[in-house]
Amino acid sequence: MRGICMSFRRVGAVILLVSNMAKSTKFYGEVLGLPLKNRSEDWTEFFKDGAVLALHPAKKKSGLKAGTGMLVGFMVSDLDSTAKRLKEKKVKFFKKPKQEPFGKHAIIQDPDGHLISIAEMKPKSTDAEGFDLLGLIGAE
């Protein structure tokens, strides 16, 4: 079936919401031995090629708890047209499309309420600094 899926290029990340960035970074990096791609106070990525495992602090105001919050992040080639088609199909937006320092970003929900991050990254953007994953969870 063609359609919206054609805009989704690949899974870019599996994102875990964590209670303690230092402990989680140590666990995934040192204990499991995953190769570190980049690290900042609010965003850590493992694996240098393909999809990444990303860690992001859970925020109390979000209502999501560490250990229960996980997102799948998809890369899209054109977030504006993808968002338009998703709205036409009555997909619920947790975070409306927004311009971020790394590119355009939105979060949708599946029928069970799982959060799905969709992002159109700026060319050659590997810098996750300023990545406001859920706004961060400032749902609109």
CATH number for the domain spanning 46: value is 3.10.180.10
pTM of the predicted protein model: 0.67
| 135 lies in some domain | no
Q: State residue 125's pLDDT score.
A: 46
Q: Which domain holds residue 101?
A: 4-121
Q: State residue 139's pLDDT score.
A: 41
Q: State residue 122's pLDDT score.
A: 81
Compute the distance between CA of residue 99 and CA of residue 125 in angstroms, rounded to an integer: 14
Mean pLDDT for all residues in the chain:
80
| 24 lies in some domain | yes
Q: What percent of the chain has pLDDT over 90?
A: 33
| 15 lies in some domain | yes
Edge-to-edge strands of the sheet including 8-18? 36-39, 44-46, 52-57, 8-18, 70-76, 115-121, 103-109, 92-100
Q: State residue 17's pLDDT score.
A: 84
Q: What percent of the chain has pLDDT over 70?
A: 76
| 132 lies in some domain | no
